[in-house]
């Protein structure tokens, strides 16, 4: 069994067991890619907070602590990190100790059956990496209500109108807007390079906020 053949089953398991509404395979930034990633709602009734779960998948042939290290590295992007590996008889006592020591969860793969053996602690990655990982999955955070929502399907920002409130209302879309001041500040401090006449500081407002709130500003006309 090759590692990649295990990914879809792990993704399905994340949807079912961890209630992930979105999953992705081999997603990430230039620094590293996560084998399987899932996103789930954890904010209760008063917040749209989501959690990212990253899983390193192995096919039973890799050095255990090295694999654990890879899984641990996912905490740069993810709130919870797991190593999923093929084990007919489960993980050994020492393997569980190593995983506990590093602070990663363990998932046993046995044929088509998948089982969580050790849960992952919670990690708090920098917003920079967390939000970009979400964007890889075509998800963004609304700057009004704080909820996570789909930015687009095949087209990256297909569900958004670009800095055009009226168009967003008419088409029942969200809004994509850019911030120039922050962009200029980051450029002047050498934090962000890129073209001088371009801002990369993108922010989103969800279709729900446009439809139910912003649309009221247009009602008087």
Question: Among residues 59 and 144, whose Cβ is nearest to Zn ion?
Answer: 144
Question: Among residues 20 and 206, whose Cβ is nearest to Zn ion?
Answer: 206
SS3 breakdown of the chain: % helix, strand, coil, rounded to 5? Answer: 35, 30, 35
Q: How far is the CB of 81 from Zn ion (least distance, A)?
A: 29
Q: Please state the φ and ψ torsions of residue 158, each to the nearest 5 degrees.
A: -60, -25
CA dist 172 and 169 (Å) reads: 5
Question: Among residues 99 and 175, whose Cβ is nearest to Zn ion?
Answer: 175
Q: How far is the CB of 151 from Zn ion (least distance, A)?
A: 12
Question: Among residues 48 and 73, whose Cβ is nearest to Zn ion?
Answer: 48
Q: How far is the CB of 44 from Zn ion (least distance, A)?
A: 17
Interacting residues toward Zn ion by CB under 5 A: 142, 144-145, 206, 209
Question: Among residues 142 and 151, whose Cβ is nearest to Zn ion?
Answer: 142
Q: How far is the CB of 217 from Zn ion (least distance, A)?
A: 15
CA dist 32 and 76 (Å) reads: 10
Q: How far is the CB of 189 from Zn ion (least distance, A)?
A: 30
The 10 Å CB-count burial string (b at 16+, else e) for 93-119 is eebeebbeeeebbbbbbeeeebeebbe
């Amino acid at each position: 069994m090759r590692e990649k053949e295990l990914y879809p089953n792990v993704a399905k398991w994340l949807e079912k067991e961890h209630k992930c509404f979105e999953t992705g395979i081999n997603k990430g930034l230039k620094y590293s890619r996560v084998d399987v990633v899932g996103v789930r709602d954890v904010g209760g009734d008063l917040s749209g907070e989501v959690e990212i779960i990253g899983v390193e998948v192995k096919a039973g042939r890799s050095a255990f602590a090295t694999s654990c290290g890879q899984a641990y590295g996912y905490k740069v992007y993810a709130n919870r990190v797991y190593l999923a590996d093929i084990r007919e008889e489960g993980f050994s006592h020492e393997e569980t100790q190593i995983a506990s020591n590093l602070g990663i969860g363990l998932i046993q793969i046995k044929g088509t059956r998948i089982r969580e053996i050790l849960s992952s602690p919670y990690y708090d990655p920098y917003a920079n990496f967390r939000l970009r990982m979400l964007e890889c999955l075509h998800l963004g955070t609304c700057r009004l209500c704080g909820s996570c929502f789909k930015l687009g399907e095949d087209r990256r920002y297909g569900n958004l109108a670009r800095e055009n409130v009226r168009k967003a209302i008419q088409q029942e879309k969200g809004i994509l807007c850019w911030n120039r001041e922050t962009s200029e500040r980051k450029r002047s401090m050498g934090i962000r390079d890129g073209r001088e006449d371009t801002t990369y500081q993108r922010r989103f407002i969800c279709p729900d906020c446009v439809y139910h709130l912003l649309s009221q500003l247009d009602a008087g006309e």
